């Protein structure tokens, strides 16, 4: 658990031998655990340039880092390589299906997820993504049975299950409110801190204005931006100092430009880990933060 010293060790090794593959692999794993996915993917790039044939777990983790960094084509290639070597690994197939869905390659996702569900017919996550992919393809045959089975799974599976279900796709499915709530709690429990952090100490700025922050991935051509831009522009700057925190790279188009200009301060935290983003928001002295 002494992450700082571990990083210093890996960096010291790589300072003497930049091609030391064990140090590169361990450094990438440590960055992954800290949610620093872009840095992790960059280290894996260095590793694969030296050693092309990597163990399957490393190939999969590299694919996950690439996926979380937005390098979808490369992530898919990693998962396909892993699936070719381990064709009956449910986790690999689920990752492949998920990255295909993110790219709207629903037919490819269907093939991977169908195979995963055949191998693990009580996997609620795989079933939810399979139903999601088929709905996008308008492949209605048998989909009502998938929805009914999914409802039963979510209602009865213990929340200690290794696989939980992404709640957003479920909102487009005919599931009960109770099941949707259970899925949301189940998913959210994976992100809950082990200990509740202390509340930040906030004060009025030297100009006596209250600092207010807004966090979103949708400061771009998106309904949220359309309905909130004028509101932000009309906030009383004599009383409020506004900060926007963008969770994805800034949009340079007219909608993105307008909404970023509506803030007194705009901060791109798209490459930051969740911890780093929180630290930045606290350092800015935000008194009220809106999660949009």
Q: Give me the mean pLDDT over the 85-104 stretch.
A: 96
Adjacent-strand bridge partners of 267? 245
Convert the pLDDT of each residue in 248-264 to its tens digit. 888 999 999 999 999 99
258-291 b/e (C-beta count within 10 Å ≥ 16 → b): bbbebbbebbebeebbeeebeebbeebbbbebee
The DSSP letter of residue 192 is: S
Closest CA to 260 of 289, 288, 210, 220: 220
Judge whether residue 205 has pLDDT over 80. no
Give this prediction's pTM.
0.77
CA distance 89 to 242: 48
pLDDT per residue as tens digits for the range 108-143: 999 999 999 999 998 999 999 999 999 999 999 999
**Does residue 3 or residue 193 have the better pLDDT?**
3
Residue 282 has pLDDT above 80, yes or no: yes
**For residue range 9-46, what is the model confidence (pLDDT) as tens digits?**
999 999 999 999 999 999 999 999 888 898 999 999 99
Percent of the chain past pLDDT 90, that is, above it, reads 76
State the pLDDT confidence band at 276, using cuts at 50, 70 and 90. confident
Alpha-carbon distance of 86 to 153, in angstroms, equals 27
What is the percent of the chain where pLDDT is above 70?
Answer: 98
Residue 271 confidence (pLDDT): 83
Within a 10 A sphere around the Cβ of 112, how many other Cβ atoms?
27
Number of other residues whose CB lies within 10 A of the CB of residue 50: 11
Q: Give the CB-side neighbour count of residue 251, counting CA atoms within 13 A.
A: 18
């Amino acid at each position: 658990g002494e992450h700082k010293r571990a990083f210093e060790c890996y960096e010291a090794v790589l300072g003497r031998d930049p091609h030391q593959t064990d140090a590169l692999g361990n450094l990438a794993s440590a960055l992954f655990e800290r949610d620093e996915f872009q840095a992790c993917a960059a280290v894996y790039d260095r590793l694969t340039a030296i050693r092309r044939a990597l163990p399957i777990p490393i190939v999969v983790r590299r694919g996950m880092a690439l996926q979380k960094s937005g390098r979808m084509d490369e992530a898919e290639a990693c998962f396909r390589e892993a699936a070719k070597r381990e064709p009956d690994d449910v986790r690999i197939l689920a990752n492949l299906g998920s990255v295909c869905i993110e790219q709207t390659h629903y037919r490819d996702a269907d093939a991977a997820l169908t195979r995963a569900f055949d191998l693990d017919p009580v996997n609620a996550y795989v079933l939810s993504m399979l139903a999601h992919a088929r709905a996008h393809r308008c492949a209605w045959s048998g989909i009502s049975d998938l929805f009914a089975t999914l409802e039963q799974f979510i209602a009865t599976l213990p929340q200690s299950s290794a696989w939980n279900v992404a709640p957003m796709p479920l909102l487009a499915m005919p599931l009960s409110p109770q099941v949707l709530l259970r899925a949301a709690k189940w998913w959210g429990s994976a992100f809950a801190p082990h200990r509740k952090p202390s509340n930040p100490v906030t004060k009025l700025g030297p100009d006596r204005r209250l600092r207010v922050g807004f966090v979103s991935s949708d400061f771009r051509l998106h309904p949220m931006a359309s309905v909130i831009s004028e509101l932000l522009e009309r906030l009383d700057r004599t009383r409020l100092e506004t900060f926007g925190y963008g969770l994805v790279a800034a949009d340079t188009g007219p909608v993105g430009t307008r909404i970023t200009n509506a803030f007194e301060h705009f901060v791109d935290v798209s490459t930051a880990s969740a911890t780093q983003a929180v630290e930045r928001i606290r350092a800015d002295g935000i008194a009220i933060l809106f999660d949009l």
